[in-house]
Amino acid sequence: MSIPAPLIVGTIIYLILAAALLLGVFGCLVTRKLSKDDAAIANVVVVIAVFATWLFWACAWLHQWHPLIVPIYEE
């Protein structure tokens, strides 16, 4: 059984989002808008937030792909 393509595409989109946010934190660190400690906390927050939203999206997508309760259609 292979991994479905929409799941791979969505994961890649979340990885790009995480990279962009981490790059933004790095940019703020370089321009001294964030201290080193604040940037470290921001990095952890970004990683946890992106992982949590990806996990929620993946669970929602998988539940729609293989529903546990099949709807019964009445005529």
Q: Is 70 left (phi over 0), alpha (psi -120 to 50) or beta?
A: beta
Is pLDDT of 69 > 80? Answer: no
Look at residue 73 in the predicted model and tell me its pLDDT: 81
Look at residue 67 in the predicted model and tell me its pLDDT: 73
Look at residue 20 in the predicted model and tell me its pLDDT: 98
Is pLDDT of 1 > 80? Answer: no
- Residue 57 contacts residue 10 (beta carbons within 8 Å): yes
- Give tens-digit pLDDT for 38-68: 999 999 999 999 999 999 999 999 888 877 7
Task: Tell me how far apart the alpha carbons of residues 13 and 10 are, in angstroms, rounded to a whole number.
Answer: 5
Q: Measured in whole angstroms, how far is the alpha carbon of residue 1 from the centre of its chain?
A: 24
> Which among 57, 74, 70, 75 is positioned nearest to 7, based on CA atoms?
57
- Give tens-digit pLDDT for 25-35: 999 999 999 99
